[in-house]
Amino acid sequence: MKLSCLFVSSIAFLLSKATVVVAQQSGVQVGDTVTAEGFIMDYFCIFDEVLLDNPSVRTLEGPDQHSVHCLVDISVCRESAYEILGDPVDGEILYTRDLRVDEAGKMMLIDAAREEPEAAAEPSPPAATSAVTITQSSHWVFKILATGALSVCLCL
């Protein structure tokens, strides 16, 4: 069954973006725990500038149109890095590339996406919280510490 879109995000991984901004301004160190919020997107689709599974949509304009199928089943997408996108800056339409998830975190997201049902009759708002730890401060690579309650809401 082909998944045509994902309600709200590729994998809704909700955290609090405001904390990341504060953390960046306060000199975050390796090992510090921060939180973030946003859509999960694979680097292949970011680099290509359009969604592989929906080429009429610019990646950073419509991350809610990205399917779980593209994220976890298509090899070029699955094998590329995963990033957490931030909301567009006021007056802009493009989502921002805020954080990169490390390999262990990426595998956890893939596993969580594959465990979810293929579709939800009544999509519910995603609700999840989790902490991430900076593992490389110069590259803003993050490691997921707690799974929280990842929510994948699919629509056909």
pTM: 0.60
Q: What percent of the chain has pLDDT over 90?
A: 21
Q: pLDDT tens digits, residue range 15-41?
A: 333 333 333 444 555 555 556 667 889
Tell me the domain boundaries of the chain: 5-117+126-150
Dihedral of the alpha carbons of 118, 77, 65, 127, in degrees to the nearest 10: 60
pLDDT of 13 > 70? The answer is: no
Is 109 exposed, middle or buried (CB count within 10 Å of its CB: 0-12, 13-18, 19+)?
Answer: buried
